[in-house]
A and B are shown apart, each in its own frame.
Chain A
Amino acid sequence: MIQLHGVSKTVMSGASPLTILHAIDLDVPAGRFLAVTGPSGSGKSTLLGLIAGLDAPSAGRVVIDGTDITSLDEDRLARLRGQKIGFVFQFFHLVPSLTAFENVMVPMEIAGRPGAAARATALLSEVGLTGRGHHYPSQLSGGEQQRIAIARAFANEPLILLADEPTGNLDTANGRHVMELLREVNERRGTTLVLATHDASLAALAHERLALRDGQRELV
């Protein structure tokens, strides 16, 4: 489902180049749950961003569901994300001007999918927020916001769900709740899940682990 061939990322830091991710190969088959671990700054977010096509690699190829996305332009990437990839961020990144309900609807509207409203209602009840659809993000707690973000990420039933430190900004109870939602998606629907975390207990839940340190694969 996800294949990385010699993918690396180098950015310019001032005048000198800085490699934040060294060449890496990776193959995540469909339905698997991969945990990417490592301390902050180790390149976890960069790796997820490259898989989601949010960023272009400096070298190497990224293949998603048989499609080489490395050469796709910005708009094709957007469309691919809309259909196949869901993303959950550490800082939620809900659109502040939209209600919870609308935030969940947006990906379906972008994709032009019929029955968006009914499905958004269903998704809200799945994450346990039925009554809060008309609230704005600023009126919701962090845990609630992240559950909305998960419902949004899952709106178009993507093949792949990428979660970047989804519990990093939450307390333990809320973190557990969010984690349960993610595992449920992986187990019940067979969605390929890639989770970036520095929390070993969360990583232990995964089928596989990829440890990163200073942008390089660390042998475990």
Chain B
Amino acid sequence: MRFVLRMAVREIRASWRRLLLFFVCIAVGVGGIVLLRSIVQDVRLAIARDARSLSAADVTLSTNRSWDDQTREIIARRLAGVKVLARTEGIETSTMVRPADERRPVARMAEVRGVQPGFPLYGNVELQDGRSYSHALLAGHGALIRPELLVQLDSRVGDEILIGTGRFTVRGVLVSEPGRRVAGFSFGPRILVDAADLESTGLLGFGSRVSRDIQLKLPDREIEPTANQLRADLRTHFVNVRSVRGTEDHVGDDLSRAENYLSLVGLVIAILGGIGVSSVTRVFVQQKVRSIAVLKCLGATSWQVFGAYLVQAILLGAVGCLLGVALAAAGLASLPWWFSGQPGFATVPTDMTPSAVVQGVAIGLLVAVLFSAVPLLDVRRVKPSLLLRDAIRAGERDWVRWAAMAVLLAALVLIASWQAGSFRIGLAVSVGLAAVALILSLVGAGFVRAIRPLGASRSVALRHAVLRLSRPGNQTRAVLLAVGLGAFFIVGVRSLQANLLDQFSVTLDANAADMFLIDVQPGQAVGVERMLAERTGTPQPPAIPVLRARVTSVAGREVTLRTYEEVRRRGGLGREFTVTWRDHLQPNERVVEGRFWDRGRAETPEVSIEQGLRDRSRIHVGDTVQFDVLGRTISARVTSVREVDWRDARQGGFMFVFRPGPLDKVPATYVAPVRGPVDPAARARLQRDLVDRFPNVSVIDLREILQNVERVLAKVTLGVTVVGGLVLLVGGLILIGSVSMTRFQRIYEVAIFRTLGAGTRLLTVMTALEYGVLGLLSGAIGSVAAIALTYYVSRHVLDIRWSPYPMISLAGMAVTALVVCAVGLAASADILRRRPLGTLRSE
């Protein structure tokens, strides 16, 4: 054992430079795992610590209707038997906000929250100037607003702003507030005002989008029972009951899943690093054959030698792990800089968590051991007799080696399961990865075969370049796999981004609506249309009546849902839908099943549903769906299924369209699509004037949303590109490893070519072509896979139209080819410069 340890240490001293690649491969994988896991764990820790202030209450009841007497009574009756420590109510609505100063032509959508003096039950409202919050700041039409909104409104603390018809004074800048979701969809920046003042703005009337909540502080052991009882009591009243534990669990589950998926990405990088480790080790053993034979001659057993090199691999792996942890630390430290200026990210802590480090290091060591063990087993086959004469290569099957590979595969499945937190997912990922590897290597083999005719090319350089790719001991497949995978990530996500942006930008062509007015009251519809016509000078599309409705039951061929509770359990179907009625199809609609009604009114309610909704909820033509529309129950028969081209949803895409008639009596609000002026100043002026005249009307500016979407997509793309870059980096490392693997062969070959009259130029061109072709093939594999991915994701996950982006694919291939070519040339540079005589003499 002493011998094993000492030999390991001495070998490292002698050859750590040659094995640099070894620990860089490990470091990249470990760094990836530690970084990704730390981020998620930090977020989770923050949430666990601040769960109460995040949900702001022990139990929250919320509804987007008003609290009617009956509901209030049910709640009061239930709470009578419970010791309520504190209670406060809140109101939220999204609306347009504008400076009171009419010379500033801006109006912005914001989320206004009205709170009572009891707010917040938990946590603190954080203000930018460090003052502590008290309700007195809001009393008498005071408002606290988010900094970005203040900038958008071109206002300062002390200025007055208009919310609806109410005039408020900005009393402070809001940094964070308890109860605000960490991430989620929002209609705009937050404004905090007094609840009673909000009632006075005239915004909470009929048809407006208002959410009201009651927040409760209860003794610990009463939280869950009370929440459950209230949930049961209010089942039929469209009231959502949340408990702090529930929120915590829900967010926690999501984060665990995110953490595990991200870790799998890290694991994939680590496994690719393992491939690099494996090829480096194989070269190492080849170079050490003579020393191994000597050690055996001096009395060392195969396992002693194997042990010495394995210990060496473990030590190198450990160094790689440390390097990886250091990389992760650097990455984490740079995060705040990365996300600076992104609201919401500023407060996320960026500490390295011990558990992430332990997992990263454990995986790093396992990968180092497992992937180096298989090639190291070859030391057993080194015979000491080769010191006397060249050994005759034994071609017999090595069962130990096969067994080791089986152990390696089994271990990978277990590690993946551990990282994914589920054996099923672990197995699926392993099988998936194996399948991808198999496909990529088959495709690679196919490509290599396809270019084989080039081996008969008239060009010497090209001929030899192609022949080299299939020389014995070539690493063509390993490189194709790793580099191809990296290219796949990057090209895939870029094309997906292009497809998504394309989806949005279609709505912005010159003649289409690029602004939507919502919450237009029935009495205002005519006035709004007239004002728009005057101001824009172009004919505007007609306003669309909309209602909000919930599905309360379904009686169908395939699905029967008797109560709203059952509907709610079906996921998406339980949400609130925006519905409309009309007697014609829009240009972006097509009936795919059943028959759309003719003009004219119906005796009994009829409804047409969207194709995707049919597929997901399995509601068919002929089924009866019952709706609750503003408290009225309407039973409608499904008479047709429409396909909606969502890319062209200017006229609105509706899941449910009713036949005119039964809904006419229900008071609706209107949505008006507007072709707004393109000039930003004119747009702002128009929005401001609209809101001045119709304070309850909100404007959704598509151009602005598109900019936001672009910004978010750019961030996501950057993230995935970084991951893809890591994969590509590992690919580069494997490439370097493969160059050094065939190094001796190459040195000799170059010497002979030189002796036979080849100049540096020819040799360089030959090498450049070799790696250029390899890179081109990798890029092609990645691009083909990326096209398959974007097609699948676009059509089946995002449900958008797919179009190929040949420029992105071609650019991806070209860049990959260039990178691989550059790396290959750089790694071979010293070989190409060598003088032939020294080489031939020493051979």
Contact = CB atoms under 8 A, between A and B. Distances in A.
Contacts of B299: 78-83, 107, 110-111, 156
A49 B388 contact: yes
B298 A110 contact: yes
A52 B385 CA distance: 10
Interface in B74-91: none
Nearest to A155: B298
A164 B388 contact: yes
Contact of B385 (A55, A112, A156): A55
Nearest to A76: B301
A11 interface: yes
Contact of B290 (A46, A48, A80, A93): A93
Q: B11, B13, B293, B301: which has the most chain A beta carbons within 10 Å?
A: B301
B842 to A, nearest CB: 12
Nearest to B15: A97
A141 B303 CA distance: 33
Interface string A71-86: 0001100111111000
A94 B11 contact: no
Contacts of A46: 388
A97 B18 CA distance: 12
A54 B384 contact: yes
Interface size classification for chain A: 35 or more
B59 to A, nearest CB: 70
A96 B291 contact: yes
Q: B291, B388, B389: which has the most chain A beta carbons within 10 Å?
A: B388
Nearest to A108: B3
A217 interface: no
Interface string A132-172: 00000000000000000000100010000000100000000
Contacts of B293: 93
A109 B6 contact: yes
Contacts of B298: 81-82, 87, 106-107, 110, 152
B2 A95 contact: no
Contacts of B290: 93
A12 interface: yes
Interface in A34-89: 45-46, 48-49, 52, 54-55, 74-75, 78-83, 87, 89
B833 interface: no
A95 B385 contact: no
A11 B392 contact: yes
Contacts of B384: 54, 78
Interface of B is mostly: helix
A127 interface: no
Nearest to A53: B384
Interface string B1-39: 011001100110111000000000000000000000000
Interface in B274-308: 290-291, 293-304
Nearest to A48: B388
Nearest to B290: A93
B387 interface: yes
Contact of B300 (A49, A55, A110): A110
A210 interface: no
Nearest to A46: B388
Contacts of A122: none
Nearest to A74: B302
Nearest to A11: B392
A46 B387 CA distance: 11
Given A54-B385, A75-B303, A81-B299, A97 B3 contact: no
Contacts of A75: 301-303
Interface string B456-471: 0000000000000000
Given A49-B385, A98-B14, A109 B297 contact: no
A164 B384 CA distance: 14
Nearest to B296: A78
Nearest to A105: B6
A81 B300 CA distance: 9
A81 B14 contact: no
A49 to B, nearest CB: 5
B387 A89 contact: yes
Q: B296, B297, B385: which has the most chain A beta carbons within 10 Å?
A: B297
Contacts of A96: 14, 291
B519 to A, nearest CB: 79
A114 to B, nearest CB: 10
Contacts of A102: 10
Given A12-B392, A45-B388, A54-B387, A112 B302 contact: no
B10 A98 contact: yes
Contacts of A49: 385, 388
Contacts of B2: 109, 112
Given A46-B388, A49-B385, A82-B298, A110 B304 contact: yes
Contact of B294 (A48, A52, A94): A94
Contacts of B295: 95, 106, 110
Nearest to B301: A75
Contact of A109 (B3, B13, B301): B3
B14 A97 contact: yes
Contacts of A80: 299
B388 A55 contact: yes
A93 B384 CA distance: 11
Contacts of B304: 110
A54 B3 contact: no
Contacts of B387: 54, 89, 93
Contacts of B297: 52, 54, 81, 87, 93
A96 B295 CA distance: 12
A93 B295 CA distance: 10
Contacts of B14: 96-98
Contacts of A97: 10-11, 13-15, 291
Interface string B371-392: 0000000000001110111001
Interface of B: 2-3, 6-7, 10-11, 13-15, 290-291, 293-304, 383-385, 387-389, 392
14 contacts: A12-B392, A48-B388, A49-B388, A54-B387, A74-B301, A74-B302, A75-B301, A82-B300, A89-B387, A93-B293, A93-B297, A97-B14, A106-B7, A156-B299
- 3 tightest A-B CB contacts, nearest first: A82-B299, A97-B14, A75-B301
